[in-house]
Amino acid sequence: MFTHIAWRLDAMIAAITDHRPPLTRPIEQALRAVPRHWFVPPVGESPERDGRSAPIDREADPPAWWDAVYAGRPIVAPDGCSCPAPSAVADLLELLGPVPGQRVLEVGTRTGWTAALLCRLVGQSGSVTSIEADPTVAERAAKNLAAAGALPHLVVGDGRAGWAERAPYDGVHATYAVRTVPYAWIAQTRPGGVVVAPYGDGHALRLVVGPDGTAGGRFSPLTTMTWTRRDTPPGAVLTEDVLAEPGDARRTWADWGEPERERFGVTITPDGQRVWLDSPERVIG
């Protein structure tokens, strides 16, 4: 369908799967059907792996802009709103596992790209509600989504409170990193539903809601979300994020036997959040 950028889409998808299992067919099809360039600002910055940022400008240097759009990096608009890295988007969509007919809440509309992908994945029989705190960002996302032919229900508000008016949801998808998962996301998700969110510095968390109003799950072993501290093992980074004491946390992680990231998990109840290692009984934070 998009023959003029087919090779760029091929390269983007190949880069996503370079260090992880192949994408499921629905996710790959959605990434091909909803091209990223529809949602990238004409002017912005593309962070490099060394921490620096390269400016991009579609009018001044079109080839560099197109290269950045379909590279594996996030792109940040002048106002700070970012279009996340394709790998991060793919990871969270895989963890959420949306299927046609589902009702999904997205927290953080940003540029609208993930909302459009979710609309594609749940189909006309499903529905997507997307909430954005910044009115200016929300307005721009609405224009991007309309141009792309995607029709989520858009809300301007505090995403931490979710959006109870259209609950219950089959899934909640957060686009920004948290350290504490708001209980409202759990309360507004049906039993058996899934909540996914970036956590801390480059981790991905998947929670399943239980019939008792609690939720629990482990951190994903996927590593493509990690952007900073690449010289530190993901398990050590997660320990530092949980304990918030980098030096002591690194020693604690070593004392625990240097556990991999997927050995850590989280339980959410109306009373709060507990982070654990290996089992919910071994609470570490």
pTM score of the predicted model: 0.94
Domain that holds residue 272: 3-277
For residue 118, the domain's CATH number is 3.40.50.150
Q: Which tens digit of pLDDT belongs to each residue from 221-272?
A: 875 555 556 678 889 889 998 987 777 888 999 999 999 999 999 999 999 9
Higher-scoring residue by pLDDT: 121, 77: 121
**184 lies in some domain:** yes
Q: Which tens digit of pLDDT belongs to each residue from 182-201?
A: 999 999 999 999 999 999 88
> How large is the average pLDDT for residues 123-149?
96
**74 lies in some domain:** yes
**121 lies in some domain:** yes
**283 lies in some domain:** no
Q: Which tens digit of pLDDT belongs to each residue from 78-105?
A: 888 889 899 999 999 999 999 999 999 9
**285 lies in some domain:** no
Total tally of structural domains belonging to the chain: 1
**284 lies in some domain:** no
Dihedral pair phi/psi, residue 205, rounded to 5° = -115, 135
